[in-house]
Each structure stands twice: as structure tokens, then as C-alpha cells.
Chains A and B, each alone.
Chain A
Amino acid sequence: MSSLSMRPCGDFRTSYKQDNTIFETSTIRWITIISIIALCFAPLVVDGYFITLLIQISYLGIAALGLNILVGFTGQISLGHGAFFGFGAFASAWLNISFEIPVFLSIPLAGFFTMGVGMIFGMPAARIKGLYLAIATLAAQFIIQDFFARAEWFSGGSAGSMAESLNLFGFVFNTDKSFYYVALFSLVFMFIWGCNLMRSRDGRAFIAVRDHYLSAEIMGVNLNKYRLLSFGISSFYAGIGGALYAHYLGYVSAEGFTIFMSIQFLAMIIIGGLGSIKGTLMGVIFMVLLPEVLASIVGLMKMTDWGNIPMVVDGLSYIKEMAIGLAIIAFLIFEPEGLAHRWTQIKNYWKFYPFAY
């Protein structure tokens, strides 16, 4: 019902096409388009550090959307998303180095490779659910991590693997500012892809499997196929995100893709809102900016007399990690439906202002 009440008066829909749009109203669509255009000009205005944060939001956002399709929309669970992210990163570098496939092709190819791996590890999902599935995917996390350490032909072992910069028609995206456009384009592309997926046949089937798998099957949805496909698509996103990460840094090493990263992806989608595409992005932004905001607060405190507490100033890195845990707990207690839900609440409050509800 909330979607109905949020429509301004006079905004009538006269065709089914208008009723099937991604954005609720044309205003929201215009705001989104204008923000994307504004983001295109960001490198001219803001300094380099912000650009690195935006790039980070882009590749993490793509991977987190994949996890949200799996967890939020299909109702499965995965504790191996960080490993799939890493697999995409190594796969793209490997394809590029070993087969000399140009980077702009190796990134999507890495996505499809990761999709294959994800579907292999997603096979238990056809039979088991909930906590048991979580443990099965945890196995995926450790198996893939072990594979990174041992398969030197693939990952370069403990030395890691070099990844070339993206080269498109002779233009090399090797600086932060140029790669920013690649990241932004990928983010927008993959999010539109996700939105369209969720409003077409297979996306609906995913939600049907989540909400009531028995009746989904009776309605003609092949349960095993869709559970597996969901793992595939989720890993595909993780692979794309990982590949972008690899070609952005130029160097991939196995240390980063641990269980902690998988948990971080889960935290992003829980904070953002399970089963919400815009929530995914909100969650990622929150998680990326949280340490930065903390750092700047501590930086400001350091300049005052009362705030220059050695424990806080020196222990910043611990505080950052604790803050992530605290944020997850706080969201689980106070806003389990995530930032996306809170956003809707605020919007409703604003619209109906003198009337509270």
C-alpha cells in the first residue's frame, strides 16, 4: 500500500507500461538521472580520496546486490560471498594474463566463471535450507580460499597475481579518475540489470520461492532450478565486482577474501534492507562511509583539549571494527528492515506532515 500512498495526487497511470516502471514517480526518476550526471562530474570537483571511496562503493555495491538477490529476494543464505568476490578478481586477472583476453572482455567472463563456481557450491541449496545451508556455504568459503593459496597457476599463490588496467580502444583506465567512470558505469548498468530482473519473470519466481516455496512449485516454478540460478546470479555479481576490484588495484592477493569479507557483505545488505535494491546501495554507502566518518570525528576530537584521549585516538582501528559490529546489532534491534525501510518512513512522514500516520 505504501507505494500507492506515496504517489502525488494528479499522477495517474493510464497504461500498464506506466505502471511497470522502475521508479515510482517521474520525479524520482529525474532525481536519479540528475544525480548520476552529477556524479559524472564529481572528479572535477571533489578530491582524489573521495573518488577512491566512490570506486569502492561501486565494486562493493555490485557484489552486495548479488548477495541481496540471493539472501533478500530468494531467501537463501550464503557465507561464501567474499570468496566468490575473490574468485572473480583472480579469474579476471588469470584470463587476462594466461589467455591474453582483453580486460573489457575478461571482466564479464570472470563473472560467468564465478557464476559456474557459485552454482557448483550452490547445489546443496536444492536440498537444504537455513542454518544447514549457511554451513554448506561456509565450506565454500574455506575451500575457495584454500584453492587461492594452492593453485599457483591460477592465483599466483602467496605472491598474488598482477592485473592489468582496463584498456578500451587504446585508452588506458589506470588512474583513479578514469577508472571512476568505469566503476560508475558498471554500477549503474548492474543495478538497472537487477531492477529489470526483479520486475520480469525470473525475479518474480525468486520472490515466490522465498515467500512460499510449496505454492511456487505448484504455480510452475522449478524450485531446484531457481535456487541454483539464484546462487549463480549472486556469484555472477560477486565476480563482476571482484574483477573490477582487481583491475582497479592492479594486484590481487588472497588475504582479503576471508570470511570477514563475507560477513561484511551480509552486514551491508542487512543494514541496507533485505530484498531492496536501493537499500543495497544505501547499506554499502553506510558501511564504506562509517569508518571514514569515525576517523574524521576522532580527527576533530584530537584537536580539542577534552577530546584528545589517547585510548580513542590510538585505538581508532579497533573502534572502526567495533563500530561495524555495533551498527549491525543496532540495526537488527531498531530497524531490522534496514535503511530502505527507514527512508520510506521518513518520506511518508514528510508527505503526511501534520498527520502523523
Chain B
Amino acid sequence: MAESILKVEKISLAFGGVKALTDVSFEVEKGSIFSIIGPNGAGKTSMLNCISGRYQPNSGDIYFNQKNVTNLRPNDRADLGMGRTFQNLALFGHMTVLDNIMVGRHHLLKNNWLTGPIYWASNAQKEELEHRRHVEDVIDFLEISPIRKSIAGTLSYGLRKRVELARAIALKPDLILLDEPMAGMNLEEKEDMARYILDLNEAYGITVIMIEHDMSVVMDISHKVMVLDFGKKLITGLPDEVMADPHVKRAYLGIEDDEIDAQEAS
């Protein structure tokens, strides 16, 4: 087995009496596309929030590149190379697309509030221009160059999703967490997005953890799939294995119990 980039060990998370996650463990291989699926309220986004640091799990550990990150703040995890997008758009609405993506490079920039304002005397200008080049690469990659000067809040839904992805890529992450990258998109936009995810995985070598409801996309592009149901892990495996699993069918794909019993009997 290839080296693992993320190792989650027995994560449990509860909000009062609601157990969002119970003893979930899994590993993600470096350079793979890993999908998390499950019915609504299964704890997929809670899982992602634990990994990115929005939530602190009640118990369990998360190792990122062999480093225990369980107690790190989200911004420290970004420094280590973890990027993410949100299910509900979370762009900086009043900034241009370009500035949005430049924020992604925040942890790579070195100037601060004292050296930044003496723009020409420090290396702030040089740094800005250098990083602008990287940002333009990302913009080219996601084909959003015509809108780079638009205000992010004025864009259409599909474009905003793409800008959000661009911002996460600009972070130069090793691991990128995508929370429903294709929700609310039409078929064409979905196809584009699937292509971008495959490309960023192959060209940039970024490991992807993705939550998605569109089963055809999940089955087509993921290397591994994990199924959550009521905060518990049902199965992790290759897409085909997961699809064939009777528990998954019951939990997620909507087959009645007696049908499964009948299948197992036959």
C-alpha cells in the first residue's frame, strides 16, 4: 500500500446527545481521490470539519503527513498544506476573484503589516508579483481568466464554486477537501468540475477527499469510497465493492430490507 497522507483514528464527535460521528477510522493514500458518501445527516460534513479543524473531535486522533493535527487550529492546518472548499459558498464577496485567490497564498507570503506598506522598499512588491504569477497559473488551469477582475459576490453559482476551488488550489495543498463540489450544477458544469478534480489530482498531485451526492460522478472518478451512516462507518473500499455491498444499498441507495434478504437467500 502506498504511503498514507491522512490517517483518522477512532474519531468521535457529539453535539450534546446527538452523536455525529462514532469511532470512525480510515486512511487516505497519497495521490488518491477519496470520496465520502452517505445519506443526509450521516456526518460527512462533520467528518470534513474535524479534518480541517472547524470542529474538535471528542476523542480520536487525526494524523496528517504523519503529524498529529488533532488539536491544531484551522489556519495552522492550512500552513501544513490542507485546503478545502465549502458546501455553501464561502467566497470573500466584496473582493475581486484575483484577490480571493491571492488570499489562498496567505501562508506562503512573508510580508507583514510593517514591511507590506513600505511596498517598494521591502520585497513586498516583488513577492506580490511573483505570487501573482502562481495565481495566474491556477486561473488558467480552471479557465476563469475572463472573470479575474470581477467581484466574487456578483458571479454565478457555478463560477463561484470554481473560484472557491481555485482559492483552495492556490494554497498549494497536499490534501484538498471538497464539500459537495458539484451540488446544484447542471450536467455540463458537473462534467467540467469532474475534469478539474481529475486534473488537479493528476497534474498537481493533490490528494482529494470529496463529499458528493451524485453517485455516477463518485463511482467514475474516485479511487476509494467510504460510506457513512448515522455517524458510523459502513464500509471503505473500491467503488464497485461499495456499490455491491448490501448495507450500503440499504442505507443509501434505498433498497428495502426484505429485498436484501431475498438477494442474500438466492
Name the B residues within 8 Å of A223 (CB-CB). Answer: 75
SS class, residues of chain A in contact with chain B: helix
Once the chains bind, are A20 and B95 in contact (CB under 8 Å)?
no
Once the chains bind, are A203 and B116 in contact (CB under 8 Å)?
yes
Name the A residues within 8 Å of B26 (CB-CB). Answer: none
How many angstroms between the C-alpha atoms of A203 and B106 in the bound complex? 11
> Which residue of A16, A202, A208, A218 is within 8 Å of B133 (Cβ)?
A16
Name the A residues within 8 Å of B150 (CB-CB). Answer: 1
Once the chains bind, are A212 and B93 in contact (CB under 8 Å)?
yes
Once the chains bind, are B171 and A220 in contact (CB under 8 Å)?
yes
With A214-B54, A219-B103 known as contacts, the answer to whether A229 contacts B74 (CB < 8 A) is: no
Chain B's closest residue to A197 (CB) is: B117
How many angstroms between the C-alpha atoms of A62 and B154 in the bound complex? 32
Within 8 A of A (CB), among B115-162: 116-119, 124-125, 128-129, 132-133, 136, 149-151, 154
Once the chains bind, are B103 and A205 in contact (CB under 8 Å)?
yes
Name the A residues within 8 Å of B54 (CB-CB). Answer: 214, 218
> Which residue of B75, B94, B104, B128 is within 8 Å of A207 (Cβ)?
B94
- B73: CB under 8 A from chain A? yes
Measured CB to CB, the closest approach of chain B to A12, in angstroms, equals 14
Counting chain A CB atoms within 10 Å of each CB, the highest count among B54, B119, B132 belongs to: B119
Once the chains bind, are B106 and A204 in contact (CB under 8 Å)?
yes
- B195: CB under 8 A from chain A? no
Within 8 A of A (CB), among B58-90: 73-75, 78-79, 83-84, 86, 90
With A16-B132, A219-B104 known as contacts, the answer to whether A207 contacts B95 (CB < 8 A) is: yes
Within 8 A of B (CB), among A200-251: 200-205, 207-208, 210-212, 214-223, 229, 233
Name the B residues within 8 Å of A43 (CB-CB). Answer: none
Once the chains bind, are A214 and B90 in contact (CB under 8 Å)?
yes
Name the B residues within 8 Å of A219 (CB-CB). Answer: 75, 78, 103-104, 106, 167, 171
With A215-B92, A216-B92, A219-B167 known as contacts, the answer to whether A199 contacts B128 (CB < 8 A) is: yes
How many angstroms between the C-alpha atoms of A229 and B114 in the bound complex? 11
Once the chains bind, are B86 and A215 in contact (CB under 8 Å)?
yes
Once the chains bind, are B90 and A220 in contact (CB under 8 Å)?
no
With A4-B149, A201-B106, A222-B73 known as contacts, the answer to whether A212 contacts B92 (CB < 8 A) is: yes
Name the B residues within 8 Å of A17 (CB-CB). Answer: 125, 129
Give the interface of B toward A (CB within 8 A): 52-54, 73-75, 78-79, 83-84, 86, 90-96, 99, 102-104, 106-107, 109-113, 116-119, 124-125, 128-129, 132-133, 136, 149-151, 154, 167, 171
Give the interface of A toward B (CB within 8 A): 1, 3-4, 16-17, 19-20, 192-194, 196-197, 199-205, 207-208, 210-212, 214-223, 229, 233, 275
Q: 24 A-B Cβ contacts within 8 A?
A: A1-B150, A4-B149, A16-B133, A16-B136, A194-B117, A197-B117, A200-B111, A201-B109, A204-B95, A207-B99, A212-B91, A214-B90, A215-B91, A217-B73, A217-B75, A218-B74, A218-B84, A218-B86, A219-B103, A219-B167, A219-B171, A220-B171, A222-B75, A229-B113
Known contacts A196-B124, A211-B93, A217-B75; can you find 14 more A-B pairs with CB under 8 A? A1-B149, A3-B149, A19-B132, A196-B116, A196-B117, A196-B118, A199-B128, A200-B109, A203-B116, A207-B94, A212-B93, A215-B86, A219-B75, A221-B75
